[in-house]
Amino acid sequence: MTYCVGLKIDRGLVFMSDTRTNAGMDSISTFRKMHVWEQPGERVIVLMSAGNLATTQAVVSLLDERCKAISERHQTVLETPSMYQTARLVGDTVKEVIASAAPVGEKADSYFNASFVLGGQIKGSEPRLFMIYPEGNFIESTEDTPFFQIGETKYGKPIIIRAYDREMTVAEAVKLMLVSFDSTLKSNLSVGLPLDLLFYARDSFKIELQQRIGQDDPYYRTISDGWSKALKAAFQQLPDFPG
């Protein structure tokens, strides 16, 4: 499986993804699931993927390759006039890949399934965050739903629901991401370290912060150990059942 979260805060967009892929329990590999296209001063686009690795790699490769072929430039993530058009482009590419992988009639709800979180900002408009389904259609985040998760989403959801605040700082948002990922890592073998972290600051049109967080990362260790202890302490502090 996979776990990726895209979170929209007033200060910008925060992305985190794990790197584990598995085909069965004994075929585990590390793959980057976060992909970035950047034109400093003009646009930053981040795409995270979950699902069939062949599909997600094909989608990313196609998007990438088309940026390089000048003649096809009208169709690329470096040229789309808006984030909405970028989401459409990614959705169309997903449909194209799934259709081409399925000459004998596989449908979108098949093993070739993939879903994506897309976020970024293009000069002239606001930062935007989308979730793209295997069928190629998509939804956009709103104030009420300021984050999207893909992959193994359930373990890490309760803490995001409770601790999210649109006015939070980047440092708090990264902490929230790590706590959510740590709960998932502790519960599900198919999500694994290292993690990829990216923060895009609103109206900066460049990437401020991008880093890989591994097992030995001191901040990750602080959060992982600290959260277990803090959770136990929080739990103990609640009154016991009186009955």
CA distance 155 to 37: 30
Q: Contact with a copy of itself (CB under 8 A): which of 5, 48, 132, 223?
A: 223
Helix boundaries (H) for the chain: 53-68, 83-100, 157-163, 170-187, 218-237
CA distance 24 to 63: 28
Binders of a copy of itself in range 71-90 (CB under 8 A): none
Binders of a copy of itself in range 128-157 (CB under 8 A): 154-155, 157
Q: Residue 174: phi, psi to the nearest 5?
A: -65, -40
Q: Is 167 in the site for a copy of itself (CB under 8 A)?
A: no
Q: Contact with a copy of itself (CB under 8 A): which of 52, 76, 149, 183?
A: 183
Q: Contact with a copy of itself (CB under 8 A): which of 24, 71, 161, 216?
A: 161
Q: Contact with a copy of itself (CB under 8 A): which of 50, 94, 176, 193?
A: 176
CA end-to-end span of the chain, whole Å?
A: 42
Angle at 198 between CA 195 and CA 201, to 5 degrees: 160
Q: Is 216 in the site for a copy of itself (CB under 8 A)?
A: no
Complex with a copy of itself: residue 69 or 209, whichever CB lies closer: 209
Structure tokens at 56: 């997600």
Q: Residue 156: phi, psi to the nearest 5?
A: -95, 5
Residues in the interface with a copy of itself (CB under 8 A) total 42
Complex with a copy of itself: residue 73 or 154, whichever CB lies closer: 154
Q: Contact with a copy of itself (CB under 8 A): which of 100, 125, 145, 169?
A: 169
Positions that interact with a copy of itself (CB under 8 A):
154-155, 157-159, 161-163, 169-172, 174-176, 178-179, 183, 186-188, 209, 211, 219, 222-223, 226-228, 230-235, 237-243
